[in-house]
Chains A and B, each alone.
Chain A
Amino acid sequence: MKRWLWIVWAAVCLTQLAVPAWMIHRRNLTLREGEIYRFRTRPVDPYDAFRGRYVALDFEVAVFSNQAPGSVYQRGQRLYAVLAVDTQGFARIDGLQTTRPHGLPHLPVRVRSHGDPITRLELPFDRYYLEESIAPEAERLYQSRNMQPSSDTHAVVRVRDGFPVLADLVVDGSSVHDLIKK
């Protein structure tokens, strides 16, 4: 085998392996060192076409009504949501910025629709994957509990330098995995 072919093969393999490896490393780092935020969920459209192997999620903070006067956003525009924690310990969005906020906890989001006074946002986590035999049951459980006003249903998200990773889905105070096992 020619020497240059060895080099090409090695370079291709390293590049191809580097992409999933980097994805894993970055998420593991965030899961280890990221700050924990709890995002209160809300019911999703029951006709979500991709249901079956994951629980489709929607969040209360995705409906943002506290925007600065005169702000106009385009559909699909990338923004940065500044994060804070409310008195009950759940994540809330304090403001939207067009540039990355330095020194403040934040998330990259996209504008789904913009109006006055409400801007609907697309958060960078919208599904929780589960094994296919338990995913429909988890979805049913999540939907039924989510409809109850007193329910404590939320997603646990770790955020590090504006990079979020969904760590767990909590339904009625228990991880969805534990709840299914029961």
Chain B
Amino acid sequence: MSNDPIAWLHRELPGWVRDGILDRGQADRLSRRYPEPEGPRSHRLLSVLFAIIGSLLIGGGLLLLIAYNWPSWPRSLRAVLSIVPLAVVQAGGLWVLARRNDRAAWCESLGIAWLLSVGGSIALVAQTYHMPGSFDTFLITWMILSIPILYLMPGVSVFVLYLAGAVGWGFSQRVEHAGTAGAWLLMAAALPLAFRWHREAHSGAYAVISRWALIMASGIAAFGFIDFGHGGVWYNTTILLAASLLHLGWLYESGASSAWRRPALVMGSLFVVPMAFALSVDEVLRNVLRQGWPRDPETDLKVYAVLVSFLYTTSLVLTVRKGWQPGMIWGLLPVILAACWLLGWMEAGIGVLFLIVNAFVLAAGVVTLREGIRTSSLTRVNGGMMVIGAWILMRFFDGEYPILLRAVVFIVLGLLFLAVNLRMARTRKAART
């Protein structure tokens, strides 16, 4: 018998009917009871991708054909033709909703075509009537009208395009010196779909791609929309956001099999670790602590600061409640920075603050290395080694502190490492005997 019993059954059924073991009706009922799978996973994925590319090409071609602005056609005909593609795609949408069971590929392709035809219709009418170039008005109209498409034809390509549009509108608002709160609301309109995919299969392709898209879109929006006033505020809020991503990753992505399926952990680490390193440089730490809150901050910045603080606190509390582990030490960087703020406010010297941050970076590197060895994770072992190696290299060439002081610190730390190693060896030996 084959490894796949359903495929085996479907191969055998015609022979059973031929040999009189089953009649045709019984064979059909068995076929319906155990339907054949749609095809291997790679075939389904390929079918979805081809559907996306095909519909993008056809949709774009049709729009270009109409956008040619046929000079001989009367204005009214061009105007009507501008909305015909939209009506056709809408009818196609109804067909998919009503008839198709194999929706994934259809939702992807028709979703894109639908989204593009909404924007295309508005743009073509604008061209036919020589409307002025107000890009932000066009984009917001397009995106608001496209929100229902996300839920009627749920597909990742539509999801990504929609988020790109929402971020694009935010940028156009920024260029016009207008508020960008609306762009965040637009992005939030896609959140229920991402939650739905996450609930259905949190390591599935749709959930993972939507998480990547949301993280990237929010990051680009945060850095692009908000006037931070100066680098210090940017640094503090970005550390809060990145550390929150780490916590969320530990909460919801720990069981994922690859880095691709852990977007929050990957993006959080990509920001937190280099930022911790940067803070371990005297000059950077001094600047971040000196540049306080801007005197007259924009509303966007105030709302953003409150939101990331809330996100960080909530994610930290949830992580602690679930069971905080030493490997999560990098997520404490905002706490360390807050401690530095507090000590700085209490007029502690910059040397003390510098020591605290450096002790944190070194401790985090050691903990990462230890966790890597404990869990046999080569990525963590390498990561820990890289952190420790980079820290040693940076401090070795750090001209801010006297050579004698650095020499003493290096020797003391080296002795500490050797002592710990010796103690671990003795513990292992004792355990063996």
CA A161 – CA B111 in complex, angstroms? 38
Could you mark each residue 65-82 of chain B with 1 if its beta carbon is under 8 Å from any beta carbon of chain A, else 0?
Answer: 000111100001001101
CA A129 – CA B127 in complex, angstroms? 6
Whether A129 touches B152, Cβ cut-off 8 Å, given contacts A20-B83, A23-B125, is no
Contact of A5 among B82, B97, B118 (CB under 8 A): B97
Nearest CB in chain A: distance from B421 CB, A: 64
Contact of A129 among B93, B98, B130 (CB under 8 A): B130
Residues of chain A contacted by B83 (CB below 8 angstroms): 17, 20-21, 24
**Cβ-defined contact, A132 with B90, below 8 A:** no
**Cβ-defined contact, B148 with A132, below 8 A:** no
For residues 67 through 120 of chain A, which have their beta carbon under 8 Å from a beta carbon of chain B? 76
Residues of chain A contacted by B207 (CB below 8 angstroms): none
Chain A residues in the interface with B (C-beta under 8 A): 1, 5, 8-9, 12-13, 15-17, 19-21, 23-24, 27-28, 50, 53-54, 76, 123-132, 134, 165-166, 177
> Any chain A CB within 8 A of the CB of B349?
no
Contact of B148 among A8, A124, A130, A166 (CB under 8 A): A8
Provide a sorted-by-A list of 20 A–B residue pairs whose CB atoms are within 8 angstroms.
Answer: A5-B97, A9-B152, A12-B90, A13-B90, A16-B86, A16-B90, A19-B121, A20-B82, A20-B83, A20-B86, A20-B121, A21-B83, A23-B122, A24-B80, A76-B177, A124-B132, A125-B130, A125-B131, A126-B132, A165-B130
> Any chain A CB within 8 A of the CB of B256?
no
Residues of chain B contacted by A20 (CB below 8 angstroms): 82-83, 86, 121-122, 125
> Any chain A CB within 8 A of the CB of B351?
no
CA A56 – CA B127 in complex, angstroms? 13
**Cβ-defined contact, B148 with A23, below 8 A:** no
What does DSSP make chain B's interface, helix, strand, loop or mixed? helix
Residues of chain B contacted by A15 (CB below 8 angstroms): 145, 148
**Cβ-defined contact, B71 with A134, below 8 A:** yes
Whether A19 touches B145, Cβ cut-off 8 Å, given contacts A27-B129, A50-B133, A127-B133, is yes
Residues of chain B contacted by A13 (CB below 8 angstroms): 87, 90, 93
Contact of A131 among B69, B80, B97 (CB under 8 A): B69
Residues of chain B contacted by A19 (CB below 8 angstroms): 121-122, 141, 145
> Any chain A CB within 8 A of the CB of B126?
yes
CA A8 – CA B129 in complex, angstroms? 31
Smallest CB-CB separation from A122: which chain B residue?
A: B132
Residues of chain A contacted by B87 (CB below 8 angstroms): 13, 17
CA A170 – CA B127 in complex, angstroms? 18
Residues of chain A contacted by B69 (CB below 8 angstroms): 53, 129-132
Could you mark each residue 113-151 of chain B with 1 if its beta carbon is under 8 Å from any beta carbon of chain A, else 0?
Answer: 000001001100111111111000000010001001100
Residues of chain B contacted by A132 (CB below 8 angstroms): 68-69
CA A18 – CA B120 in complex, angstroms? 14
Smallest CB-CB separation from B69: which chain A residue?
A: A131
CA A19 – CA B129 in complex, angstroms? 14
CA A23 – CA B80 in complex, angstroms? 11
Smallest CB-CB separation from A15: which chain B residue?
A: B145
Nearest CB in chain A: distance from B331 CB, A: 42
Nearest CB in chain A: distance from B129 CB, A: 4
**Cβ-defined contact, A127 with B132, below 8 A:** yes
